[in-house]
Structure 1
C-alpha cells in the first residue's frame, strides 16, 4: 500500500475542530468530542475515490467489529453499571469517611492523597474521585492551616494514581484491549513503574505540611460493609478472575448491600445500574467511531506512514517505547481526554510494539501512564477544571502542587532508559550473522 500523508486528514480534521474551537472559545469542551470525531469520519469516507462508498462501509464495519473493540465497549458498560450501583449503595461515602476517620489531623493532606489513590483504584475514575474528595479537601483547609491549593492538589494527585491502575478505569480498559494483553499483567507492569512516584509524592506532602497547624473536629461516619464490593472487585481482578465475572459479582454484591442498608429498593437498584451505564455511553460510541476512522486511515496507508516515520527516528525497543509515549502524550494534549487519546493512539502503538517486539503489557502501561501524565497537568483538562470549580480556585493555582504526574513521567522515563532491554529477533539475527562472519 502506497503511503500517503493525506490519509491522516481525518485525524487532522478532528484536532483542528476540537482544539481549534477550544482555543478560539476558551472552552475546550465547547466542541463535543463525539461531534468532532463524526465529522472526521465523514471526511475519511470522502477520501480515496478508488473505493466505492459500500466498500468503505465494509472497511469501517470490520474495524468497528474487531473483537478488542467490542470487548472494550462491553467492559465499559459493565464497569459503568458497577460504578453506578456501588456509589448509590453508599460505597464511595463510606470508603472516604473510613480513611478520614483513621487519620491523625497532622496527616490530613497526606491522607487526602492516599485516600484519593484508593478511591480512584476502586472507582476507576479520576473525575469521580475528585468530585467525592474536593468538598472534603475544602473542609480540611478551612479547619487547618493547610493551603487549599495544597489540599486539592493532593486530591488530584491521588485521583491520577488510580486512573491508570484501576481494573475498571476506562483508560485501563482501553489500553489493555487495544494491545490485547491481560488486565493483571498490565497492572503489575504499571504498578511497579508508578509506585516510586507515589512514595516520593507522599513524602513531599508530608514534608510540606509537617510544620503546619492541624486541628479538625469533624467526625466521619462510615460502614465498612459498604466498602466490601470495591475490595471484591479489586482483589478478584488482581487474582486474575475474568473481568466480566468480577464486575458482575461486584454489581450483585452492591445491590445486596444497598437494599440491606436501605439505600435503595431492588427496583431502584436497576435505575442506578442504568445511570452508571449511561455515564460511559459516550466513550463507548467514541471508541467505535475511532475504530472506524483508524480502519480507513490504515487502508489508505496512514498508519504505515506513522510507523515508518517513527522507525526512521528510533532504534530498538527503547526508541519505540519513547515514540509511543510521545505519541499518546501529544494526542492527549490535543484532545484533553486521556481515554480518547489511548483509543486513538492504541492501534498505532500496537503496530509499533509488534514491529519492535515490545511486550503488549508494556505498551499498554506506557499508553496509560503518559496519557495520565498529560491529563493530570493540562489546565484545560476536565480533572483540573472540575477540581478548581468545586473549591473556588483556578487550575493554575493547583498545578504547582501536582507532584505526582510529573514524578510519574520521570519514573516511567527512567524505567524505559535503564531497564535491561532484550534484542529484537532482527537485531539478534544481525548479531549472530556478524559473529559467523
Structure 2
C-alpha cells in the first residue's frame, strides 16, 4: 500500500499558483466563468493528491464531504433568492426605495444605510438577505441622491456584516462558534467587545462622508423622476411593508431562518397578487425566475430586475465548487502544512491573531467560499490556541473577523460574486469602503498585541494590561 504524504511547501506553491493563474486568466483575460476555473482546479489538486499517495475514491469523497458541510448555506441562499424576487414583485422593496427618497436627508443617508442594514441583518441573521432587500433599496436611494455607489455599497456591506456577526440566527456565526467548540451566545458576547467599537468608528466615518457628499446640491428632478417611476409601476404604501415586519417578528421570536424566509417569500407573492395587479401564479413564479419590469428608467430597471432561484445559480455554483475545493485542500493538509511552517513563531496572542486572520483570509482566497474559511480555520489553529491556553472564544472571534468580514473582498469568492452582482458595483470598487471590516481587523490585531479583551483558560477575565 502506497504511503500517504503531506505536500511540501514547494508543491503547495505550485498548485496554488496554478489555481490563481486559472482564476485570473479565466475572469480577466478569457472572459470565462469563474465556476469553470474552480472545477478545473479540482483536478489540479486531485493530481497532486494521487502523487502524494491518496486514492482517487478518497479524494472524491473529500469533495462531497466539503460540499455537505455547506449545504445549509446553499439552502439559505436559495430561500433568499425567492425572497428577493417576490418582495420586489410585492412592492416591499419599491416602497422602501420610495420612502427612502422621500424622507432620508442626503447628509445622514450613509449613516442611515449603515444602521438600517445592521438592524435588518441582526434581525434576519443573513447578510445575503439584507443586501438583497434593504441593500438594493439603499443603492437605489443613493443613486437618486447622487451618492457615489461604491461608497453606498460599502455602507450596506458594513451594516450587513456587522449585524450578521452579532445574530445568533446567522449560519456563519453558528458555524464559527460550533467548530471552535464555543457556545454561540458566548461567541456573540466575545464579538461584542470588538464589533461595537468597530461599528462606532465606522459610523463616525460614514457620518463624515455623508456630510461631504450630502452637502452638495442634489438633483431634485432626478429624485422626483425615480419616485414617479416607482409610483407609476407599483402600489406604494405602508401596507407593502407588512411582509418585512412579519419576517422580522418571526426571526426575533427565534424561529428557524429557512422556513421564515420562505414564509416571507410567500407573503411577497400574495402581496403582488393583492396589491400589484399580478395573478398569483405569475407572482409565485418570481420566486423562481426573478422579477422583470420595464419602467423606462434604466437605473430602476437595473435595480429591480433580479431575484429568484435562477438569479442565485452563479453564486450557488461558486459555493459548491469552492466547498469541494476546500474539502480537497483539507484532505491533503495544505493549510496544515502552511500553519506548521510558521508555528514556531506563534508564541504570543498577537502573532496567533495575525496568523488566524491570514489563514481565514486564505480560506476565502483559495476555497472561494466563506464556509471554507470558517470550517478550516478553527481546525488548523485550535492546537496553537490550546498550547498558549488562549480561550476558544478568542479563536472563534478571530475566525469570524478573518473569515466572514473578508469574504466580500475576494472577487471570485461566493460573497464577492453575490455582493457585486446584487449591488451592481464591482468588488474592487466597493472594497476600499468596507470600513467596518478594516476597522475590525485592526482592532483584532491591537487586542492581540496589547492583551485587551484576550481571555485565557486559567483566567476567564479580560487582561487589562
Q: Structure 1 length normalisation: TM-score?
A: 0.73
Q: Would you say 1:362 and 2:394 are equivalent positions?
A: no
Matching residue of 1:288: 320
Give ranges in structure 1 of 5+ residues lacking alignment.
142-147, 429-437
2:373 corresponds, among 332, 337, 345, to 345
* Structure 2 unaligned residues grouped into runs of 5+: 290-307, 387-391, 461-465
Match of 2:361?
Answer: 329
Distance 1:322 1:99 in 2: 40
Q: Of the candidates 143, 158, 164, which is equivalent to residue 156 of structure 2? A: 158
Alignment of 1:223-372 (within 5 A): 223-262=237-276, 264-275=278-289, 276-315=308-347, 319-330=351-362, 334=365, 340-355=368-383, 356=385, 358-359=392-393, 361-372=396-407
Q: Distance in 2 between matches of 1:401 and 1:60?
A: 35
Q: Specify whether residues 116 and 75 from structure 1 end up closer, same or farther in structure 2 by C-alpha distance, changes over 3 A only.
A: closer
The superposition leaves residues 190-245 of structure 1 with CA deviations (integer Å, 9 ceiling, x where unpaired) of 56633433333433444455583557755667433333333443454454322223
Relative contact order, CA 8 A, sep 6+: which one is greater?
1
Answer whether contact 1:98 1:224 (CA < 8 A) is retained: no
* 1:15, distance to aligned residue in structure 2 (A): 1.7
Deviations 1:309-368 (A, max 9, x none): 353332366544322222333565x57xxx934234233212035332534752552244
Q: Deviations over 1:399-430 (max 9, x none)?
A: 776644433433444455544333358x99xx
* Counterpart Cα distance in 2 of 1:266 and 1:4: 57
TM superposition shift of 1:56: 3.1
Worse-matched range after superposition: 105-114 or 243-252:
105-114
Q: Return the alpha-carbon distance in structure 1 between the equivalents of residues 287 and 159 of structure 2.
A: 26
User: Which shows bigger deviation, 122-131 or 47-56?
Assistant: 122-131
Residue 117 of structure 1 deviates from its aligned partner by: 4.8
Question: Take 1:156 and 1:2, find their aligned partners in 2: how far apart are those partners?
Answer: 44
Equivalent residue, structure 1, for 2:129 = 124
Bigger mean CA deviation after superposition, 109-118 or 38-47: 109-118
Check conservation: 2:175, 2:375, Cα contact below 8 A: no
Q: Give the secondary structure class of the aligned counterpart of 1:252.
A: helix
Pair 1:407-2:407 in alignment: no
Check whether the contact 1:119–1:159 (CA below 8 A) recurs between aligned residues: no
Residue 162 of structure 1: how far off its partner (Å): 0.5
Q: Please, what is the CA RMSD of the aligned residues?
A: 4.3
Deviation at 1:81, TM superposition (A): 2.1
**Structure 2 residue 17 is matched with structure 1 residue 19:** no
- Please say if residues 339 and 380 of structure 2, whose CA atoms lie closer than 8 Å, have aligned partners that are also in contact: yes
* Bigger mean CA offset, 233-242 vs 116-125: 116-125
User: What is the TM-score with the length of structure 2 in the denominator?
Assistant: 0.69
TM-superposed CA distance for 1:139, in Å, is 2.9
Quote the residue 2:34 is aligned against: 33
User: Secondary structure of the equivalent of 1:240?
Assistant: coil
d(CA) in 1 for partners of 2:60, 2:369: 24
Q: Distance in 2 between matches of 1:403 and 1:136?
A: 20
Q: CA distance change for structure 1 residues 415 and 268 in 2, over 3 Å: closer, same or farther?
A: farther
Counterpart-to-counterpart distance in 1, 2:314 and 2:422: 22
**2:141 paired residue number:** 136
